[in-house]
Structure 1
């Protein structure tokens, strides 16, 4: 019985340590070096299944091309207004901070509530095709358990309404 009590105490201590590490920023990861759109393309998806990209098909042979593939955001009318609408939507989103805002590009960081894991979300305005390409990637971990896809789909639903 005493061993079970020690194991329970150890589990609580480990959980508390993990939460404290997250709250202190030790689980946020570092900003990736390759962000932004170059030559009309966002960076490729991550090498592991923890990202989504509307341009995944532009990287043939990429090991996560199929997992990462997601549709871009579509709009009608003025691209500048569409990007402005997207920026306003992101500014209202919980635990989301816009880091970079350019005439055709947005980089935002999204953090989880408890452990403060950070994901980078990028948007690039493709005016000729009336779409906004998106890439969302976790900084840490090999898997994202569908979080990046769910985030982009939630943004899409809000953007489209």
Structure 2
């Protein structure tokens, strides 16, 4: 089953305040994207940026099949795996003074049936509670 997980791409992380652009495939969303296919609204803060990052970290810990793999001030990266085939999606959060930029992308394949978009919208709902 681990063959479906792939390796993390080398373009993850923040470069000059920006997350990696989405590939041409529809299996990625990014709050910094300008095209409608990949664009998603940034997440709101829940308190201060530090409080928001702590809250996001707690949300990730509660998510089934999610693993926090990187944490730095203002940055979180998690890997989400699908239940059956263990496909892995890389999810990144950049927490700043104006909100949380986010990128969620499938490692393998082309289409994701909007799984990445729905995941971020669920995080948004949980932040708004």
TM-score between the two structures when normalised by the length of structure 1: 0.77
Distance 1:76 1:70 in 2: 18
Per the TM alignment, residue 67 of structure 1 is displaced from its structure 2 partner at its CA by 0.8
Q: Within 5 Å, give how 1:1-161 maps onto structure 2.
A: 24-57=1-34, 65-75=35-45, 77-127=47-97, 129=98, 131-161=99-129
Q: 5+ unaligned residues in a row in structure 2: which ranges? A: none
Distance 1:49 1:110 in 2: 17
SS at match of 1:82: helix
The structure with the greater share of residues assigned to helix is 1
- Tell me the alpha carbon deviations over residues 41-77 of structure 1, each in whole angstroms, 9 at most, x when there is no partner: 11101221110000002xxxxxxx2211100111253
Alpha-carbon contact 2:29-2:117 (below 8 Å) kept:
yes
What is the aligned-residue RMSD (CA, Å)?
Answer: 1.0
Distance 1:76 1:93 in 2: 18
The higher radius of gyration belongs to: 1
The structure with the greater share of residues assigned to strand is 2
Per the TM alignment, residue 144 of structure 1 is displaced from its structure 2 partner at its CA by 1.0
Q: 5+ unaligned residues in a row in structure 1: which ranges? A: 1-23, 58-64
TM-score between the two structures when normalised by the length of structure 2: 0.96
